Chains A and B, each alone.
Chain A
Amino acid sequence: MKLLIVEDEKALSDAIVEYLTSEGYGCETALNFWTADEKVALYDYDCVLVDISLPDGSGFEVIKELKKRKSEAGIIIISAKNSLDDKITGLEIGADDYMTKPFHLSELNARIKSIIRRTNFSGQTEIIANEISITPEEVLVKVNNQPIELTKKEYDLLLFLLANKNRVLTKESIAEHLWGDDMDTSDSFDFIYTHIKNLRRKITEKGGKDYLKTIYGMGYKFQI
């Protein structure tokens, strides 16, 4: 899986690369418009992250270039402007998702995975982690081939944890993933704990292993 990260802020770009590389992606970066334009013309990517405001051009142009080349790459806009107009423009010209800075890397990772899953029709759509398997189209979760009943939030949580396996997910990133950006996160930590507890119970009841680790004070981890 090859990704292109078009982001002019080197420190942020580095942080994204670090996170995504350890997820097993091959990451290339472009710190300005011209490099991005060149790379898009020369190589094929599975997913492209584009910052809208670049020092020498607009991220929208990069997206247009990709679409002109009939690229099948998933496109995620990462913008500091939480502007509805930008979002609409971006999605209209063919971007798949829009994220506002500052975002959680775990959230970014989950969205990349979901986009790649959607755009890769040839690949299998099932998400498998040992004895746990999820079929997103059917919202179906099985442990040792036995379906388990999850609430909507538990399902979302499991998917989010699996997208970031072996990673510490902060409580804040989980809260925002489950309840939305406007969430005053501190109120929700107890509920995350409850959901984790229920998930753990439901998985182990069907003979699954306990993969959910609590990282004291920080958050949770799906360790496989």
Chain B
Amino acid sequence: MKLLNKTGRYYLLGLVGVMLVGGIIFYFLLIRSLNHFETENLLNSKDLVIDKLNKMPTQNADLIVLEGNLEILNNHYEGKNIQILRDTISFDKRENEIIPMRTLTFSFQNQQNHYLIRLSKSLIERDELREVIGRFIIILLGLFVMVLFWLNRIISRSVWMPFYEILIKTKGFKVTQNQPLTFTKINISEFDDLQNVLQDLTKQISTDYHALKEFTENASHEIQTPLAIIRSKLENLIQSENLQEGDMKTIQTVYEAAGRLSKLNQSLLLLTKIDNQQFVKHEQINIFQKIESQLINYEDFILGKKISVTKELNKTVELEINPTLLDILLSNLLMNAIKHNVKNGTILIMLSHEKLVIQNTGKSLENTPNMFFGRFIKHNTESESLGLGLAIVKKICETNHLKIDYLYLNNIHSIEILL
């Protein structure tokens, strides 16, 4: 929901409340005034009647013209003096409806008669009044909604304009590009504050990011150098002629461990680098050719396991991607399909403009397939592999906005990448 709609909604709610309460108060005030006015009116009429009857005692009281009705109930009233005000209803034949009336019954004595007179006057119908006020409120509300809508559009176009500009700029911010946001002053204090905060924030983020990047690289540098020393020294050591078999075994173990540590470090560094989007240069690359050359490189492994490879490859499929990353992606996937295959197994590689599928026979799977995209997850815990291969594949797909899925059914493992 847009902010302006939200505030508009509150305004509307407030307005409805105010209008309702206002309408009710207005109604009651009006009723009170009306009551007062109508009673006054009757009393005035009474004074007029008395006045006329006093001046002209012989006149037939029925002939006195008044607004409202005059009824002479009794010419020879014998009760005590009264004056009674009462609300009743009567039936209006003309409009064919019941209308409220107010009557004033009073006694009066002149030289001739002792009258009991009833004056009556129709009241303004309360129902009608309520209806009129209600209609008025609804029309007012309708007008207000229209004005509010129109105002909102104007406000969002003019007043909020700088905000949307800030938003667009901020969306364009990329931490990898080492360019903190810069803004020009708008002279609206809230937006200027926002700009300053964003400016400082992105500057801080950029600095931190590059410090971290540098740290990661330096750390890996610092690890690689001692590893290089260990391995080089061991390589020199094994050249020695007079080593016992036991020594050789020890050296072998240390050498292998150093090798694994180095691979681990390189893999984690690769993940970090992909994460940091340090593989910026993209090229249009023909995938078919890459797959073919990788298959040649791994020919020994395919032949060794007597795996039959079926290819359904579209030769024209191209992908815009960093070449190094594509190499890593394909080699990890193909090597996986070979490594986790069974003897005399099969590999099916399908490449179309829509997707790349690498399918291989393999051992049964107990876990959910997509779990293997996590880090340090292996099919077999005793395996010497690092369990980072598919994590790297996943990361490469993520940074290149490719959707990847791992499907498994009846010992057939299938990795699908939507291109």
Contacts and interface: CB of A to CB of B under 8 A. Distances in A.
Contacts of A179: 297-298
Nearest to B236: A18
B339 interface: yes
A103 B228 contact: yes
A22 B235 CA distance: 13
A170 B245 contact: no
Interface string A183-214: 11111101100110000000000000000000
A54 interface: no
Interface residues of B, number: 49
- Give the most central of B225, B279, B298: most A CB within 10 Å: B225
A93 interface: no
A150 to B, nearest CB: 13
Nearest to B253: A217
Nearest to A180: B297
A212 to B, nearest CB: 17
Interface in B318-340: 324, 327-328, 331-332, 335, 339
B252 A15 contact: no
Nearest to B266: A82
State the main secondary structure of chain B at its contact with A: helix
B224 A102 contact: yes
Interface of B: 217, 220-222, 224-225, 227-233, 235-236, 238-239, 245, 248-249, 251-252, 255-256, 258-259, 262-263, 266, 269, 279, 281, 297-301, 304, 324, 327-328, 331-332, 335, 339, 384-386, 389
A84 B279 contact: yes
29 contacts: A11-B229, A12-B228, A15-B229, A15-B236, A16-B232, A22-B239, A80-B225, A81-B221, A83-B217, A102-B224, A102-B225, A102-B228, A102-B231, A103-B228, A105-B232, A153-B300, A167-B239, A168-B238, A170-B238, A170-B255, A172-B255, A172-B259, A182-B332, A184-B263, A188-B300, A217-B252, A218-B248, A218-B251, A218-B252
Contacts of B232: 12, 15-16, 19, 102, 105
A149 to B, nearest CB: 16
Contacts of A188: 300-301
B5 to A, nearest CB: 49
Given A167-B239, A170-B238, A182 B229 contact: no
Given A216-B245, A217-B249, A187 B221 contact: no
B300 A194 contact: yes
A12 B385 contact: no
A183 B251 CA distance: 22
Given A179-B298, A190-B304, A194-B304, A19 B236 contact: yes
Nearest to A103: B228
- Residue of B229, B232, B301 with most partner-chain A CB within 10 A: B232
A191 B299 CA distance: 10
Interface size bucket, A side? 35 or more
B55 to A, nearest CB: 119
Interface of A: 9, 11-12, 15-16, 18-19, 22, 53, 80-84, 100-106, 153, 167-168, 170, 172-173, 179-188, 190-191, 194-195, 215-219
Contact of B262 (A19, A22, A102): A102
A12 B225 contact: yes
Contacts of A153: 299-300
Contacts, number: 114
A187 B301 contact: yes
Given A182-B328, A191-B304, A105 B266 contact: no
Shortest 4 CB-CB contacts between residues of A and residues of B: A15-B232, A102-B228, A80-B221, A101-B228
Contacts of B252: 217-218
B297 to A, nearest CB: 6
A186 to B, nearest CB: 5
A1 B104 CA distance: 137
A172 B254 CA distance: 13
Given A12-B232, A172-B256, A184 B339 contact: yes
A173 to B, nearest CB: 8
A217 B252 CA distance: 7
A191 B385 contact: no
Nearest to A10: B229
Residue of B217, B235, B332, B384 with highest tally of chain A CB at under 10 A: B235
A12 B335 CA distance: 33
Contacts of B259: 172, 185
Given A19-B235, A106-B235, A170-B255, A80 B300 contact: no
Contacts of A100: 224
B268 to A, nearest CB: 12
Contacts of B386: 184
Q: Which of A181, A182, A195 has the largest number of chain B CB atoms within 10 A?
A: A182
Most interface-central of A82, A102, A217 (chain B CB within 10 A): A102
A133 B160 CA distance: 80
Contact of A84 (B221, B263, B297, B324): B324
A104 B259 CA distance: 10
Contacts of A53: 221
A187 B332 CA distance: 13
